[in-house]
Chains A and B, each alone.
Chain A
Amino acid sequence: MNGFAIQFLHGLSMTVLVAAVSGVLGTAVGLAGAASKLSAYRIPMWLAEIYTTVIRGVPELLVILLIYFGGTAAITFVIGRYVEISALSAGVIALTVVFGAYSTEIFRGAILSIPRGQWEAASSIGLKSWQIWLLVILPQMVRVALPAFCNLWISLLKDTALISVVGLTDIMRVAFVGAGSMRAPLTFYLAASALYLLLTSLSLLAFRMIEQHFVVPGQLR
């Protein structure tokens, strides 16, 4: 078990890395998705609608498997010989796609909650379209989106465990290997649970602090 402490530490950092990278990328995808859902053009609107409907209706594990095996098939086809896509990149892509779909909906709702007058006021004082988004809409939207975004981040943290199925050496994989070699599944999976619980608890605390930072003084929530 002692030697596995270091393994678990590596796994922990891998889990955090995958979650952080796909969280950041997924947020970008979500913002783009929300913007296209709310855009006046019909084609981006429809594309975003199809994207969120399909991804939210399909298991995360299936998305990971599709990108892992499908990605391998695609690269093999392009290069001409068998090349395997790494579990890390397949996992990050898959979770970015998933996170992007769910956060699109969160951001869309949050943007819609901002009164029409804010847009009109911003454009009447001569702000350009990108300035309105960056200076007026986004800062106000963050406050509304935060609680749901926190939930989504926590489920992203937990979803990283699924990438171990295609071989990523995260917390879950370390536990799986350890459980097999030491014949002590209970111990190892309990250790993994404790690590995940630590991560989700820390995230909850962090988001509570961020939420407090964004509270408007004197405003009822």
Chain B
Amino acid sequence: MQLDIFLQSIATLANAAFLTIALTVPSLMVGFIISVPLAFMRASDSRYLSSAILTYTYVFRGTPLLVQLFLIYYGLGQIEVIRHSPLWVLLRDPFWCALLAFSLNSAAYTTELFRGAIQAVPRGLVEAAEAIGMSRLQRARLIVFPIAFRTALPSYTNEVIGLPKASSLASTVTLLEITGVARRLVSETFAPYEIFLAAGVIYLALTYLVTSVFRLLERYLAGAEPKVARNTAMLSLRRVSP
């Protein structure tokens, strides 16, 4: 173990962390934006709608991310229509392929997460909102989602922590993010311990950063004590029902 190689590679790899962040942050945002409507559809009473979404989440949660990434990066080019479409400019670029794969994968996990939380929102609250004349969209936006999001936050944090780690797969489609640069450095210097450990340190730092931010968010959102609110809601439900 040579300390100078370790320190030097930390500096180089910290630079590569920008690409890791550039991959994870948009993937998370896109995944979030897709998953919220999907989660409502998945939690809806319509069986067809729900099972259609289930098919998507089941397939994406049941296969390795690496296969999904390779399907998009190598596989899509086999389809003539895509190769001749204007989208091809983006889809032949490994960055956009990785972004697409990570977004779809993250959306599948997040959808199921939010679905569970949406279904855990007490029925009485939704009925009360209906009774005072809120529209379906208003109920979802003002009542169901804020409560569900708070319930789902701890598991969503885990999902968010998982994504920078998952982004290491981008190195397999030639992207030079942290792991990609580490692999290149190792093949140049053959100092695997120093360099891969340095990469590990940077991932740990990223994980720590994400965890602290989300812990703050959890504490901020817990200001209204969701547990108490839920319990009183349950109580009132019990009183009303015959």
Q: How far is the CB of B108 from chain A (nearest CB, A)?
A: 13
Contact of A54 among B67, B167, B192, B200 (CB under 8 A): B200
Let me know if B86 is at the binding interface, CB within 8 A: no
**B62 with A176: CB separation less than 8 A:** no
Contact of A161 among B59, B67, B167, B192 (CB under 8 A): B67
Let me know if A44 is at the binding interface, CB within 8 A: no
- Complex Cα distance, B70 from A179, in Å, reads 10
- Complex Cα distance, B64 from A159, in Å, reads 7
Contact of A66 among B74, B192, B208 (CB under 8 A): B192
CB closest chain-A residue, reference B59: A197
Residues of A near B204 (CB, < 8 A) are 53-54, 57-58
CB closest chain-B residue, reference A192: B67
Q: How far is the CB of B157 from chain A (nearest CB, A)?
A: 13
**B179 with A185: CB separation less than 8 A:** no
- Complex Cα distance, B65 from A200, in Å, reads 13
Q: How far is the CB of A54 from chain B (nearest CB, A)?
A: 7
Question: Of residues 62 to 102 in B, which have CB atoms within 8 Å of A's CB atoms?
Answer: 62-68, 70-71, 74-79
Contact of B207 among A57, A60, A72 (CB under 8 A): A57
Question: Of residues 165 to 206 in A, which have CB atoms within 8 Å of B's CB atoms?
Answer: 165, 172, 175-176, 179, 184-187, 189-190, 192-193, 196-197, 200-201
**A66 with B196: CB separation less than 8 A:** yes
Q: A62-B196, A192-B67 known; A69 and B186 CB under 8 Å?
A: yes
- Complex Cα distance, B17 from A59, in Å, reads 13
Main SS of chain B's interface residues?
helix
**A69 with B67: CB separation less than 8 A:** no
**A158 with B64: CB separation less than 8 A:** yes
**A196 with B78: CB separation less than 8 A:** no
**A57 with B203: CB separation less than 8 A:** yes
- Complex Cα distance, B190 from A58, in Å, reads 21
**B190 with A65: CB separation less than 8 A:** no
Main SS of chain A's interface residues?
helix
Contact of B78 among A176, A184, A192, A197 (CB under 8 A): A184
Let me know if A162 is at the binding interface, CB within 8 A: yes
- Complex Cα distance, B183 from A207, in Å, reads 37
Residues of B near A165 (CB, < 8 A) are 66, 172
Contact of A65 among B71, B78, B167, B183 (CB under 8 A): B183
**B75 with A190: CB separation less than 8 A:** yes
**A201 with B62: CB separation less than 8 A:** yes
CB closest chain-A residue, reference B192: A69
**A189 with B168: CB separation less than 8 A:** no
Let me know if B18 is at the binding interface, CB within 8 A: no
Residues of A near B164 (CB, < 8 A) are 59
- Complex Cα distance, B62 from A161, in Å, reads 12
Let me know if A45 is at the binding interface, CB within 8 A: no
CB closest chain-A residue, reference B211: A57
Let me know if A38 is at the binding interface, CB within 8 A: no
**A61 with B171: CB separation less than 8 A:** yes
**B179 with A197: CB separation less than 8 A:** no
**B71 with A196: CB separation less than 8 A:** no
**A62 with B74: CB separation less than 8 A:** no
CB closest chain-B residue, reference A151: B61
Most buried by A among B66, B77, B208: B66
Question: Of residues 20 to 63 in A, which have CB atoms within 8 Å of B's CB atoms?
Answer: 53-54, 56-62
- Complex Cα distance, B185 from A169, in Å, reads 25
- Complex Cα distance, B200 from A56, in Å, reads 11
- Complex Cα distance, B74 from A200, in Å, reads 24
**A59 with B179: CB separation less than 8 A:** yes
List, sorted by A's number, 8 A–B pairs whose CB atoms are closer than 8 Å. Answer: A53-B204, A58-B207, A61-B169, A62-B182, A70-B193, A72-B192, A185-B74, A186-B76
Residue ranges of A at the interface with B (Cβ–Cβ < 8 Å) = 53-54, 56-62, 65-66, 69-70, 72-73, 154, 158-162, 164-165, 172, 175-176, 179, 184-187, 189-190, 192-193, 196-197, 200-201
Residue ranges of B at the interface with A (Cβ–Cβ < 8 Å) = 59, 61-68, 70-71, 74-79, 161, 164-169, 171-172, 179, 182-183, 186, 190, 192-193, 196-197, 199-200, 203-204, 207-208
